[in-house]
Chain A
Amino acid sequence: MKLEVEGLTVYFPYESIYPEQVEYMRELKRALDAGGHALLEMPTGTGKTAALLSLIVSYSIHNPQLKLKLLYCTRTVHEMEKTLAELRLLASHLPNSTNILALGLSSRKNLCINPHVLSAQSRDSVDASCRRLTASWVRTLAHHNPQLPTCPFFEAYDRASSAGPDALLLPPGVYTLGDLRSFGRSKGWCPYFLARHMIRYANVVVYSYQYLLDPKVATIISKEMHKECVVVFDEAHNIDNVCIEALSVSIRKQTLEGATRNLTQMSHEIERLKATDAGRLRAEYNRLVEGLAQRGNLAITDAWLGNPALPDDILKEAVPGNIRRAEHFLSVLRRLVQYLKSRLLTEKVETENPVNFCAAINSQAGIDQKMLKFCYDRLHSLMLTLEITNTDEFMHIQTVCDFATLVSTYARGFSIIIEPYDERMPTIPDPVLQLSCHDASLAIKPVFDRFQSVIITSGTLSPIDLYPRLLNFSPVISCSFTMSLTRDCICPMVLTRGSDQLPVSTKFDMRSDPGVVRNYGRLLLEMVAAVPDGIVCFFVSYSYMDGIVNNWNEMGILQDVMQHKLVFIETQDVVETTLALDNYRKACDCGRGAVFFSVARGKVAEGIDFDRHYGRLVIMFGVPFQYTLSRILLARLEYLRETFQIKEGDFLTFDALRQAAQCVGRVIRSKADYGMMIFADKRYSRHDKRSKLPGWILSHLHDAHLNLSTDMALHIAREFLRRMAQPYDKTGCGSKKTLLSEEDVMKMSEGAMDTY
């Protein structure tokens, strides 16, 4: 259908539309018109992505002079696939004259089609074997000596692209990773470099958060994006954590050992080079004297990880003289590694700020701050000079240099924490030196500065005023939408007691109580017998889930559960979890029914939908608080309190509740869908916790459902399921329309005109 949103014709890929989608589009359009940033919260299950894509794509179609490009950032690759599938649906509803090119971008591992490279096992080796075949010096050598292996796909791509920089290589359309691969296969071109090349011309690019937020990646991939881009961060409730991760580095014993090995190898390399091709080292030295850290225009295949510091903070000057010579630089690095090793030997936890740490390095190892700052650039230059292709082996020294560059560049918002062992396993020595970033606004700042419109959207952004503070930006539109429901298709409940009326909770002192474990088990057992199809359970952590599932197994509860439904569990192994999910869906599809045990904050909770029959009930066992004794968390809380005046307790509750809301929000996808949500912890009944839940859940949480025991919850569940099984009128009735057709939208906009 086509609809008018404040004078803009929007192509929408469905026959009808929800009223909140129209609202959402209107706000979004205003943000685009104003050329500012926006923060939009809309409940899950209201077609957020579809509305977002249709509006922005239509906007760019109607304003071709703006050259709008949409950069759509997702958390994970599978979300990327989902988004591209929606885009494909949209593309088929656009007028015929418009051609849009949309593609997803991922790593070499996900895009490579060279069978020789693919036979390598892990990601790093795919990267490395690709470089081994495509690095510029390898190709130059191969030019003279045809015996050397190169990648036929890359060579073919290179020939095709050399016809002209603007030769459009990819016909318009929507390309998922799979499509890119099959296109590459049919043409014999390398899909990875093709995609990298094509993002310049694409109207829509879908990729991962890191490609914009992590300076190491963003400087390489997203360098050429213009200001006119509209950046969308979907499912952005965790965006602050991603920002923080992007600027954090951790160094373990293994890292330092690896770094030492790397250094030895490099010095051998240098010796060899001195003997055979001393000119190369001299050329590098001369370049550095001239103040060029980088070697001009790098070939696309040579680019590796970029500078870990943000582009604005990188010193634009010549590399200091005392590390220009390769041997000197290596000895600096050796001293640095040695110093870090000595710091790791500590027996108690140490927390330090970057300024002190740099001063300590200077006094103990004789490396001043400026040298540290140039560590990354100098290493990069050296690796290119040494023509190192197996980059994965040199990851360790890279980490150390990243650490050095970051710690010397930033004086505020970071801290260095050295922990000799994991807090929860004090007997096992596992020292970690952690440079952790506390300020989420640092990493995202260049994005806000560079692009005119950044849209941050998710189903859970409550409280909505907190995000601008955490990310330090001022949105022109900040809006939270409610959900208009035809029927009460969600049924949140707070369960505080087991059937024996004893309270249940995952509070630290209660969680291992066998009574609580049994009550949780009984709850699951009752529900499994009453609820059809799929049930999802979320636990607060892996270790807790492992413990309780083992307990249930011993108690025989698990065996009883299996009488009704198959049981699948998320594990730390992604392959196994993926297969378990696939099987879970199969079990739901064939009517067998299944339970999926998962972890809040885990990978499944982040991006997998349990819509329709894949999830009729979600049980949140406990409140997913962060591990509050973690030093890093404590340091971050302190920083937040000092800088943003956010109280510790408030932040912790906010964080726990957004995770819980995120987990339960996975069950509903559209208004035709329905699902129940059980918050099984007595703490949810307290107002200060509950009120942090997003509005669309709170509005369905009746007072009568705030303090339930297992048998009462079972009764409510039965009633709810019976009610939902009845046929209903999809469009809603009278003034409260929940599904709009094209005419309805037209009438609505006319009505709005009249009131103005």
Chain B
Amino acid sequence: MAVISVATRYKTTVKEPGVPGVLKMNEERFVFVPNDPRSLMKLNGEFKNIKGHKFSKDGSKQALLNLTQDPEKGTGYIFEFDNFTDRNSCRDFIGRVLGKLQSVPGRPNEQSVPEKSAGAPLPEQLSAIEMERRIKLLREDSELLRLHKQFVLSGVLTESEFWATRKALLGEDTNRTTKQQPGFKSAMLADVRPSADGRTNKVTFSLTPEIIQQIFAEKPAVHRAFLNLVPSKMSEKDFWTKYCRAEYLNRTRNAAVAAAEAAEDEELAVFLKHDDILANEARRKIRRVDPTLDMEADEGDDYIHLPDHGILRDGQKDTAETETEVSRRTLSQDLNRHAAVVLEGRALDVELGDTRTVAEALAWSKQELLSKEKSEENVNLEKQERVARMTELEDLQAPRNPQYASLCIKDPREYFDSQQANALRALGGTEFGTNSLDLNLSKEEVYLHLKEQISEAKSRGLRNPIIRPDTALKVFSGLSQHLSSTRFQLGKNSQESALDRIPHRTKDDLMHHWTSIQELLRHFWSSYPITTAGLYNKVQRVKDAMGQIYQKLQEIKESSQSDFRHQVSLLVQPMLQALDAAFAHYDSEQQKRTARSSAKPNGFVR
């Protein structure tokens, strides 16, 4: 079971300093042990009493975590951590635990049943987490629990057999609680505003780690300068002071002063100059832009934009500002850049405290992005498709064919295991295995046999269509007839189904048997062809269980009242048929076995 233990300080209110100690948590309990053994601030609580948890923002003064209790049992527990990493790992852990607990409403009462079964003689060793998951599944699904009780506890199926068919359920649960990634803030934090105190000529800029991260993301030149200069050339504080100075110059829009300062101080100039990284990036991106909005191509069209031709100053165009070395960054550029960064999303997941690590992580993530970029050809194709889609007038277009979801098999093994039996049957029919398969064959014979099989498969083809049309038609007409007749008997009420008419008790029984039969049949058919003794035993067990249910079904059919008898028999019929088919198959297999058992070589179980 997952356990986490972290050094922290426990306190009852936010204000007080708190008692240092260690917080240990597992999936059910949390225990706080103070470092000072004399302290009385020991804690030992259960998560099921915890209603929720609160936490302070990343980058704020204290790394706090508050577990809130049920209101009638008292207030919460407040823990203060030394850093945000610890806090966040605790927060995420608690989030997961609470998420699990709260999704299970009536937990403690029925716990005993499955646990006992888990303790039953099992051939395999289950990990605690695996067990936990199974228990949880059973708790959530009463149907499943009933089936489990009926078959596993009575010994018809083993625990592993029961779960083998439900791998999907187990697997799915594992990735349900992934961590959620917070995106970038919409607010423009990088646009730091100075505050003046009004008495002196001093202005104050305040930067928080979050702001710094945004500055790095939005201004790659600053980011690069930071990586180059800090801490080798200047301290971090100096760096940011310089940055703020540049910001201030930019804000006052005094180009002359800015230019003068930039000429003197080359580090300061970095912040004032045009961002060459951004310019390069823009040049790269513009090649991938949708051609229907590529205004840059327009600019390049011959003769349209000849210098000094056309009307220069007609009041429509504003005169372009002259480009200087220290160009003024405008608000609109900042806005566009900010929005672009927000749209790209935050790719890094690091602690927002240390500026240096943030800067490095950002550099890494950028490199990754670059390497992921698609090739030119793909981009071109994509562009074309997009343009084609954009130009179409959708409502003039004939409605498109419904989209098909593509078949997705998560675990191929699962699929092929279940298909194996079918495939074998299709190839060799029911007489597979008896078909002159002598086990003392020579290589040549095996080869010949294989060839024969292949040619047989070839001549038969992969039967297409799989079901013959006339058979299909028969089934369909039978079904629709059946449906229409029930509909006729029931009248026009569409809400009511045939099931609603028969007594409640019978209906429940039928439903229950139906699920049981399905479960059993699934196990029955999936055990063929029988290759091990274990399977043989399983078939025996399953068959016996099916026989019992068969009896019960017969009873229900006979005992039901006369006016429902027809309905009930209609419902029971398919179940009985399915069971009959299974029995028949079992019998024929059994006969073959006995017929063959004399000629069987030693040690081969079939």
Question: Interface of A with B (CB < 8 Å)?
Answer: 14-18, 47, 50, 76-79, 81-82, 85-86, 88-89, 106-110, 123, 126-127, 176-178, 182, 208, 210-211, 214, 216-217, 244-246, 248-252, 255, 305, 395-396, 399, 402, 419, 422-423, 425, 430, 432, 434, 436, 541-543, 546, 549-550, 553, 558-559, 562-563, 566-572, 574-583, 585-587, 590, 592, 594, 597, 601, 603-604, 607-609, 626-630, 632-633, 669-672, 730, 739
A583 and B387 form a contact (CB under 8 A): no
Q: Beyond A110-B300, A579-B289, A579-B340, is A571–B330 a contact (Cβ under 8 Å)?
A: yes
Q: Which of B297, B306, B309, B393 touches A670 (beta carbons < 8 Å)?
A: B393
| Residues of the A chain whose Cβ atoms lie less than 8 Å from the Cβ of B340 | 579-580, 583
| Residues of the A chain whose Cβ atoms lie less than 8 Å from the Cβ of B390 | 82, 85
Give the contacts of B283-316 with A (CB-CB under 8 A).
283, 285-286, 289-316
B300 and A626 form a contact (CB under 8 A): no
Q: How far is the CA of A603 from the CA of B390 in the complex (A)?
A: 20
- Decide yes or no whether B318 CB sits under 8 A from chain A: yes
A78 and B311 form a contact (CB under 8 A): no
A582 and B290 form a contact (CB under 8 A): yes
A579 and B187 form a contact (CB under 8 A): no
Query: Closest residue to A592 on the B side, CB-wise?
Result: B343
Interface segment among B224-232, B331-339, B416-424: the answer is: B331-339
| Residues of the A chain whose Cβ atoms lie less than 8 Å from the Cβ of B301 | 77, 106-107, 109-110, 208, 210
Q: How far is the CA of A578 from the CA of B395 in the complex (A)?
A: 28
Q: Beyond A176-B291, A576-B333, A581-B293, is A252–B312 a contact (Cβ under 8 Å)?
A: yes
A178 and B297 form a contact (CB under 8 A): no
| Residues of the B chain whose Cβ atoms lie less than 8 Å from the Cβ of A14 | 393, 396-398
| Residues of the A chain whose Cβ atoms lie less than 8 Å from the Cβ of B293 | 78, 578, 581-582, 585, 608
Q: Which of B283, B395, B397 touches A671 (beta carbons < 8 Å)?
A: B395
Q: Which of A76, A77, A250, A423 touches B311 (beta carbons < 8 Å)?
A: A250
A86 and B312 form a contact (CB under 8 A): no
A78 and B310 form a contact (CB under 8 A): no
A583 and B336 form a contact (CB under 8 A): yes
| Residues of the B chain whose Cβ atoms lie less than 8 Å from the Cβ of A601 | 316
| Residues of the B chain whose Cβ atoms lie less than 8 Å from the Cβ of A563 | 186-187
- Decide yes or no whether B196 CB sits under 8 A from chain A: no
- Decide yes or no whether B320 CB sits under 8 A from chain A: yes
Interface residues in B, total, Cβ within 8 A: 64
- Decide yes or no whether B319 CB sits under 8 A from chain A: yes
Q: Beyond A177-B297, A632-B314, is A568–B339 a contact (Cβ under 8 Å)?
A: yes
- Decide yes or no whether B405 CB sits under 8 A from chain A: no
Q: How far is the CA of A81 from the CA of B291 in the complex (A)?
A: 7
Q: How far is the CA of A18 from the CA of B335 in the complex (A)?
A: 41
The 4 closest A-B pairs by CB, nearest first: A627-B315, A107-B302, A15-B398, A14-B396
B397 and A566 form a contact (CB under 8 A): no
Number of residue pairs spanning A and B whose beta carbons lie under 8 angstroms apart: 259
What sequence of 0s and 1s flags, for each residue 333-353 of chain B, a beta carbon within 8 Å of any chain A beta carbon? Answer: 101101110110000000000
A633 and B336 form a contact (CB under 8 A): no
- Decide yes or no whether B188 CB sits under 8 A from chain A: yes
B158 nearest CB across to chain A (Å): 49
Q: How far is the CA of A354 from the CA of B380 in the complex (A)?
A: 51
Query: Closest residue to B303 on the A side, CB-wise?
Result: A217
Q: Which of A16, A18, A126, A434 touches B312 (beta carbons < 8 Å)?
A: A434
B181 nearest CB across to chain A (Å): 15
Query: Closest residue to B308 on the A side, CB-wise?
Result: A399
| Residues of the A chain whose Cβ atoms lie less than 8 Å from the Cβ of B186 | 562-563, 566
| Residues of the A chain whose Cβ atoms lie less than 8 Å from the Cβ of B555 | none
A670 and B312 form a contact (CB under 8 A): no
| Residues of the B chain whose Cβ atoms lie less than 8 Å from the Cβ of A432 | 312-313
6 CB-based A-B contacts, threshold 8 Å: A15-B397, A208-B301, A568-B339, A578-B295, A581-B293, A739-B396
Q: Which of B303, B384, B392 touches A107 (beta carbons < 8 Å)?
A: B303
A78 and B300 form a contact (CB under 8 A): no
Query: Closest residue to A584 on the B side, CB-wise?
Result: B339
Q: Which of A78, A251, A590 touches B295 (beta carbons < 8 Å)?
A: A78
Q: How far is the CA of A480 from the CA of B517 in the complex (A)?
A: 73
Query: Closest residue to B278 on the A side, CB-wise?
Result: A576
Query: Closest residue to A305 on the B side, CB-wise?
Result: B303
- Decide yes or no whether B441 CB sits under 8 A from chain A: no
A15 and B297 form a contact (CB under 8 A): no
- Decide yes or no whether B264 CB sits under 8 A from chain A: no
A328 nearest CB across to chain B (Å): 26
Q: Which of A178, A422, A543, A549 touches B331 (beta carbons < 8 Å)?
A: A549
- Decide yes or no whether B265 CB sits under 8 A from chain A: no
Q: Which of A47, A396, A550, A582 touches B393 (beta carbons < 8 Å)?
A: A47
| Residues of the A chain whose Cβ atoms lie less than 8 Å from the Cβ of B343 | 566, 583, 586-587, 590, 592
Q: How far is the CA of A657 from the CA of B434 in the complex (A)?
A: 90
| Residues of the B chain whose Cβ atoms lie less than 8 Å from the Cβ of A587 | 339, 343
Q: How far is the CA of A176 from the CA of B286 in the complex (A)?
A: 18
A247 nearest CB across to chain B (Å): 9
- Decide yes or no whether B383 CB sits under 8 A from chain A: yes
Q: How far is the CA of A250 from the CA of B319 in the complex (A)?
A: 13
B332 and A546 form a contact (CB under 8 A): yes
Q: Which of A107, A399, A578 touches B289 (beta carbons < 8 Å)?
A: A578
B294 and A77 form a contact (CB under 8 A): yes
Query: Closest residue to B342 on the A side, CB-wise?
Result: A566
A625 nearest CB across to chain B (Å): 9
B302 and A568 form a contact (CB under 8 A): no
B313 and A419 form a contact (CB under 8 A): yes
Q: Which of A182, A395, A422, A590 touches B380 (beta carbons < 8 Å)?
A: A182
Q: How far is the CA of A576 from the CA of B391 in the complex (A)?
A: 24
A594 and B339 form a contact (CB under 8 A): yes
Q: Beyond A14-B393, A182-B380, A562-B186, is A585–B290 a contact (Cβ under 8 Å)?
A: yes
Q: How far is the CA of A558 from the CA of B387 in the complex (A)?
A: 33
| Residues of the A chain whose Cβ atoms lie less than 8 Å from the Cβ of B291 | 77-78, 81, 176-178
- Decide yes or no whether B394 CB sits under 8 A from chain A: yes
B315 and A629 form a contact (CB under 8 A): yes
- Decide yes or no whether B408 CB sits under 8 A from chain A: no
B311 and A244 form a contact (CB under 8 A): yes
Query: Closest residue to A192 on the B side, CB-wise?
Result: B302
Q: How far is the CA of A77 from the CA of B289 in the complex (A)?
A: 13
- Decide yes or no whether B282 CB sits under 8 A from chain A: yes
- Decide yes or no whether B370 CB sits under 8 A from chain A: no
Q: Which of B302, B315, B318, B398 touches A127 (beta carbons < 8 Å)?
A: B302
- Decide yes or no whether B409 CB sits under 8 A from chain A: no
Q: Beyond A562-B187, A572-B320, A579-B336, is A250–B308 a contact (Cβ under 8 Å)?
A: yes
- Decide yes or no whether B388 CB sits under 8 A from chain A: yes
B380 and A670 form a contact (CB under 8 A): no
Q: Beyond A18-B396, A632-B313, is A579–B303 a contact (Cβ under 8 Å)?
A: no
Q: Beyond A568-B335, A576-B333, A670-B396, is A603–B298 a contact (Cβ under 8 Å)?
A: yes
Add 9 more A-B contacts to A77-B291, A570-B332, A579-B289 (CB < 8 A): A77-B294, A81-B292, A217-B302, A255-B308, A577-B295, A582-B293, A585-B293, A586-B343, A590-B343
| Residues of the B chain whose Cβ atoms lie less than 8 Å from the Cβ of A246 | 310
Q: Beyond A88-B388, A399-B308, is A549–B314 a contact (Cβ under 8 Å)?
A: no
Q: How far is the CA of A108 from the CA of B307 in the complex (A)?
A: 17
Q: Which of A177, A425, A543, A576 touches B336 (beta carbons < 8 Å)?
A: A576
A191 nearest CB across to chain B (Å): 14
Q: How far is the CA of A402 from the CA of B307 in the complex (A)?
A: 12
| Residues of the A chain whose Cβ atoms lie less than 8 Å from the Cβ of B283 | 575
| Residues of the B chain whose Cβ atoms lie less than 8 Å from the Cβ of A581 | 293, 295
A107 and B311 form a contact (CB under 8 A): no
| Residues of the A chain whose Cβ atoms lie less than 8 Å from the Cβ of B394 | 670, 672
| Residues of the B chain whose Cβ atoms lie less than 8 Å from the Cβ of A88 | 388
B379 nearest CB across to chain A (Å): 11
A434 and B303 form a contact (CB under 8 A): no
A523 nearest CB across to chain B (Å): 19
B391 and A89 form a contact (CB under 8 A): yes
Query: Closest residue to B289 on the A side, CB-wise?
Result: A582
| Residues of the A chain whose Cβ atoms lie less than 8 Å from the Cβ of B303 | 107, 210-211, 214, 216-217, 305
B299 nearest CB across to chain A (Å): 5
